[in-house]
Structure 1
């Protein structure tokens, strides 16, 4: 989620990218070389165009995408603020595996407000679309997930919690005193909140997932690495960098930062999103949004124990894609998307 500060387009961390290359990688990541997955679907918004755009991979290349629908939006929100940012596509899990997909996003049209107002009295709801075929997405709905002391709900995303058997939905919020109903005073630092859902219609009461106060944090993305192992990527809003933590004891286990407590991946970026490679076992692609420049740029790693990321080939990756998401897809879905919205 972009704030008002603009930074230079390519500020490289002095730590993470100087680590060993993929030749030194381990094979500890069990995610994912899946022969049933033949490509990828990317879901993004584009700069000041707060709608949802689909991009389909060129074959099973995790770094090469083409715009669908001739580059026009696939989903145009009409409820709430009339603008959606930070869309995340979530594959159904549990009983919904292979049967349901969801797209959720931030209810924010920045052209109609200001960054300050959007954090004080912004929307407390998230956009939700759902589909049984990845083609027909029905009618959007807005669901409130946060209490009235919050100033906003930004960058919602979700992951299936195997321990709970439900989707854990998370987002960033900041909070004001209950006596400050107009939210004109000072707030606490942005923190990560969460709730559980089984259907993206009803949600449990929101709780705090990560509070790093006084550091403000936003844009959480979580990737499952193994049965009980996860990596999470977070934007430090105070320092404007993205860092990674991992847990091998579940979503509510012990999280540590590979490389130490001050290690980060890049500065001047936001909206991290990581997805597993369909072909190469243990390989992960990380997208970082250079919001002051040309949007998402891809990086790769096969060693998340070392937090070792390297610049990926950008020759087939579109420019100016903003904070979004990517999932692997099967041949029937790849062919259907290409037939419906391809060139």
Structure 2
């Protein structure tokens, strides 16, 4: 029945969008898929918990994309030892290219807000990205803090990454604001916050950063990218000025032309941040999106059967834990889930 409903939905979408070319989707280069995949049977999530800036692991209950349980008895799996000794906004990244299925990375923001203020963290905050790596999703090693911006940057926040098959490298994205070179103490007025990008093959050496999104005077933070196949992508962004999350779509690559489904004022939700997107393991073309209600009880799940069209609706939150903050979710195999839960039991 699910298969038949998926076919009906596909036919309906095709008939109602005559100007949209039908594309053959191939996600093999990304370690992600929009198609139901019987080899993927669980979901592994990494998050931080508000005033607890460490990396917490959560594993799905069976193959339910929005039912999670805490691992390691609810205590952190990763506690940072470098920089501010606090990590926020962890993102788990599947290896691409030759590293596909062999390597994973967790990256995050170097920020322990308990040791600073929000103003200071944006003026003279960390200019580095936390990195951990693993060959089995169980053991996370080689902690490092890699500086990616020069001294004119006030901070580096919420790093994310996506495998760019065209360049055979990871495109890393983050948010920064900048001060005049003459303002060495960053006491003056900064630029608007914009999204920056650099490429890396190993999360050790990065290319020179450059602007990726500059919507000045609007402040943009918290980017997340979902590959759609055939060089198409969806990206999710927080308008820090308006405190909303919206999405854009490109069918011409990461550096192609982006449009906002529903128009320039369309949003997914207000009063949220930290978008985290991932495909469903069982339902063709279905995606999930977590949005962090930062002023309330953390992540709420949303879902879409039409990502490119930007149509999202709230999911049942009954089995989703409260107070999870900005993180990410990775579909995994049963063997991977078993190994992780054996090392870090619930």
Select 1:258's aligned residue among 255, 258, 261.
261
* 1:338 aligned partner: 341
How many pairs were matched up? Answer: 322
Cα separation, 1, equivalents of 2:62 and 2:110: 32
CA drift at 1:292: 0.3
* Residue of structure 1 aligned with 2:129, choices 122, 126, 129: 126
Aligned match of 2:303: 300
Tell me if 1:270 matches 2:257.
no
The alignment status of 1:203 with 2:206, answered yes or no, reads yes
Question: Does 1:102 find its partner at 2:117?
Answer: no
Could you tell me the TM-score, scaled by structure 2's length? 0.91
C-alpha distance in 1 between matches for 2:265 and 2:58: 35
Q: 1:125 to 1:281 in 2, by over 3 A?
A: same
Larger mean Cα displacement after TM superposition, 257-266 or 137-146: 137-146
Scaled by the length of structure 1, the TM-score of the pair is 0.92
Give me the whole-angstrom Cα distance separating, in 2, the residues matched to 1:333 and 1:53: 17
Q: 1:315 to 1:321 in 2, by over 3 A?
A: same
Q: Contact 1:26–1:302 (CA<8 Å) still a contact in 2?
A: no
Kept in 1: contact 2:80–2:86 (CA 8 A): yes
Counterpart contact for 2:277–2:287, Cα < 8 Å: yes
Question: Is 1:57 the equivalent of 2:60?
Answer: yes
In the other structure, the counterpart of 1:71 is: 74
Aligned pairs for 1:177-326 (under 5 A) are 177-326=180-329
Aligned position for 1:26: 13
1:305 Cα deviation from its structure 2 partner = 3.1
Q: Any unmatched runs of 5+ in structure 1?
A: 1-21
CA contact (8 A) 2:164 2:170 kept: yes
Aligned to 1:9: none
Residues 190-228 of structure 1: per-residue CA shift (max 9 Å, x gap) = 000010000011000001000000100000000001121
For 2:197 and 2:150, how far apart are their aligned partners in 1? 12
Structure showing greater relative contact order (alpha-carbon pairs closer than 8 Å, 6 or more residues apart) = 1
Q: Deviations over 1:308-330 (max 9, x none)?
A: 11110111110000000001111
Q: Does 1:171 align with 2:147?
A: no
CA-to-partner distance for each residue in 1:16-52, whole Å, 9 max, x for gaps? xxxxxx8997377942322211111000000100000
The answer on whether the counterparts of 2:234 and 2:308 sit within 8 Å (CA) in structure 1 is no
Cα deviation, residue 306, structure 1: 2.6
**Distance in 2 between the 1:25 and 1:115 partners?**
48
**Per-residue deviation, 1:307:** 1.4
Which residue in the other structure is 2:138 paired with? 135
Structure 1 runs of 4+ with >6 Å offset: 22-25
User: What SS is found at the alignment partner of 2:281?
Assistant: coil
- RMSD (Å) for aligned C-alpha atoms: 1.4
Q: Any idea what SS the aligned residue of 1:215 has? A: coil
